[in-house]
Amino acid sequence: RINKAGLDLIEYSNDEVIGRRPDFIHDFVEVQEKTLALSLELGRTLIPGKDTFVLKASLENKVDVNEWTYITKSGKRIPILLSITCVRNKENEIIGYVGVAEDYRAKKQVQEELINAKNAAETAAQAKNTFLANMSHEIRTPLNAIIGFTELLSQSNLDKLQQDFINNIQVAGDYLLVIINDILDLSKIESGQLVIESYPFNIATSLQHVYDLLKVKASQNNN
């Protein structure tokens, strides 16, 4: 027997289903595939049919839940979640089975959307990490050249003011190189692998570097 909700789902009348095996509304290829999987799991050869649906519930004496596809009278394919329970008499003998089919379309759609969203997020994250890695390498190459030539220039005959300028360029270059390296730490933050370390520093020296780097720009603005 099948209730009205089940009949409405598969688009058959009560007279059309009485006397037929329940698997007539299933995708036969899917039944074959699951029969083979169940045969391998249980270590016995099964033939597609009733055992495919009820054997595991019978052996384990508990509700067996699996995802299946119903094919309606009009040919629509409906994903369902089918729960099979054994019906037993007082002697604990199996006298029948109860199958509860849940229309899985809405949940299936949400599940697929979540999977698609997860894949899109992973693709975006990978693209971002690739971009950051490429960008850091592209910036580091000319920056190393600037730092290298600045080092060579500092070894030439310079007066005190020129030497101060060169020192400021070197400090700024070193700071910029640290920032570029920190860009790659974004991926470490996301993966929880970033380690915060403590280093002593001279605040007076740091403030002097900030002053030296900004004083030219500030003087242009009359500050």
Q: pLDDT digits over 8-31, tens only?
A: 999 999 999 888 888 899 999 999
Contact 52, 34 (CB under 8 A): yes
Best-predicted range by mean pLDDT (25-34, 141-150, 212-221)? 25-34
The whole-angstrom separation of Cα 172 and Cα 209 is: 8
Q: pLDDT digits over 178-206, tens only?
A: 887 777 677 666 666 667 778 888 888 87
Q: pLDDT digits over 33-80, tens only?
A: 999 999 999 999 999 988 999 999 999 889 999 999 999 999 999 999
Q: What is the pLDDT of residue 188?
A: 66
Q: pLDDT digits over 147-175, tens only?
A: 888 888 888 888 888 888 888 888 888 88
The whole-angstrom separation of Cα 203 and Cα 223 is: 23
Residue-by-residue DSSP string for 74-118:
T--EEEEEEEEEEEE-TT--EEEEEEEEEE-HHHHHHHHHHHHHH
Q: Compute the C-alpha angle 72/76/77, nearest 5°.
A: 95
Residue range 73-100: average pLDDT?
A: 93
Q: What is the pLDDT of residue 79?
A: 92
Residue carrying structure tokens 């910036």: 139
Question: Residue 31: which of 67, 78, 72, 60 has the closest Cα?
Answer: 67
Q: Which two tokens stand for residue 200?
A: 């002593």
Contact 52, 22 (CB under 8 A): no
The whole-angstrom separation of Cα 65 and Cα 83 is: 4
